[in-house]
Structure formats: C-alpha cells, structure tokens
Amino acid sequence: MRAHTYCSYAKINLYLDVLKRRRDGYHNIETVFQTIDLCDRLTFEPGDGITLECDAVGLETGPGNLAYRAAALLRARTGVAQGVRIRLEKRIPIAAGLAGGSGNAATTLIALNALWGLGLVPSQLARLALELGSDIPYCLVGGTMAGTLRGEQLAPLPILPETWFVTLHPPLRLSTAAVYQSPHLVRNDARPFAGRTAAFRRVIRAIERGDVAPAVYNRMETAAFALHPELAQAKQRLLDAGCLAAAMSGSGPTLFGVCADESHARAVAAAEVLWPVRAVRSMPFSIQKQESAANP
C-alpha cells in the first residue's frame, strides 16, 4: 500500500477591504488572494477511523483541527467506511493569516476524494469546503483570485508573472475577533456596483496588468497595529529595506513585502534581523501531489 503526499501552500492577501457587517455576524470583504511557495506537507494512507499526527508542538490533532474536520465531514456526507492516517509536517506558521489550516483542510478534501475513490466533482468539494471555512474554497484552487462576500465568492484573475515577496513572521498572536471588533477598524461603507466597489475595480485592473505594488492594501492593519504597534514598525522596516509595497496578510500577524525579483527578495530578507523572514514566490496553484512512496 502506498502513502500519498501533498504540498499544501500558503496564501497572502494582496488586497483586503472590509465592508459592512452582515446579518449573520460576519463581514463582507473584498480581497485578492495569492498563493506563495511556503507549504505544509500532508501524507495520507489507509487507516482505522481518522488519526492525525503532526510534528508541530501544541497543534490540535483531534476534531478541532481543520484537516481532521475535513476528513470527518467527508466520511459523514458520503457514508464511506474507509479510514485514514494523516501525517502533517507543519512549515506554515500557525494562526498567522496565511491560511495554513484552511489549506490543510482543502488538501484533505482533495486527497481523500482520490484515496477513497469518491468521485466528487469540484463544485461538490467547494460546498463541503465552505462548511469548514470561508477561505477553504479558495484553497482548493489557489493562484490569483478575487474574493467577495465572506471571501468564498471567487473570480479567477490572470496568473501573475513570477513575483517575489518576503514574509515576516512576528512571534505573537492576533485574535481575528479582536481585530474585527476593534474601534480602530473603520469599515468601507462604499456601495458595490455590479458586485465590486470602485476601489476594488481599480485593484483588479492593476492586477490584470501584472502591477502588484499599487494593489497592496489591508484595511485591518489599523486595528491590528493599534493592538500591536510593533507590527507597524515591522512594516516600515520592510519598506525601508526596499520593498515596493508592504502589508499585513489577512487578520495578521504575518506581514509581506513585494520585491522586484528573487535577488531583491533575498537581500530584503537578509536585512531583517529581529523576526523570522522568508523569501517566497507566487504560485499558480495551492495543492500539489508529490511522488508516492511505498510504506516501509
């Protein structure tokens, strides 16, 4: 019996605007998702029930883990009797605004659809993904995409030419709820036209030209920086080091900077001495199957 291994890539939000609060308590957003080549590795093999092992200390490996929940949801909805053993090699920082857990869940849906021979089509997987989280439908596909509503209404954008970034990983936690509830978060009250605000349409046009830097923005920064002023200082360090633009990803705390090319990204990364930093590039997809290996 062979084990099947997948790379589950991280995302950044090149652009993120927060619109009105919805009746269900969530917020509508406008965002541009972009996959980057920072990844976790997940290995799947037949097992009894569902078990998840992880090399990251302190990460939940039971029903609170999104990959575990994805496997359980798939079993429950399809009635499949097969089980799975999942091994997770964690390289994407946890709770960092990079959709590491969401990507793991999306990868689990795709891997188990194949491993268990379920034959579910993409639209069926997307519906299951949305039950697990707002950005998991995006993580099924990846690349460069516009997201609206809670982020689940997706529209593909032209694939970026290879673009290099640095990602800066602060050693702190930010509560998404605290950011959304902050009095410093001033929501955009502009009314969308044909589903998009004027600002978002301008961003889309820039992305379509392959011009990333003018599109970089995150409305949630004001609230996050009020909670942790050192994040604002870190963003300024990226700009001072030569990044063409910089912003926070998602609700943070990860920051990223746009670079001119690979050598520029590595030079910017070398200039950061306070917090962990990586040079990464854009990716056109979010999940990649690796060569299968026979079990020992």
The residues assigned a catalytic role are 11, 135
Closest CA to 215 of 256, 269, 180, 166: 256
* Residue 6: closest CA among 45, 36, 52, 59: 45
User: Residues 216, 185: contact at Cβ < 8 Å?
Assistant: no
Q: Roughly how many angstroms between the first and final C-alpha of the chain, as a whole number? A: 10
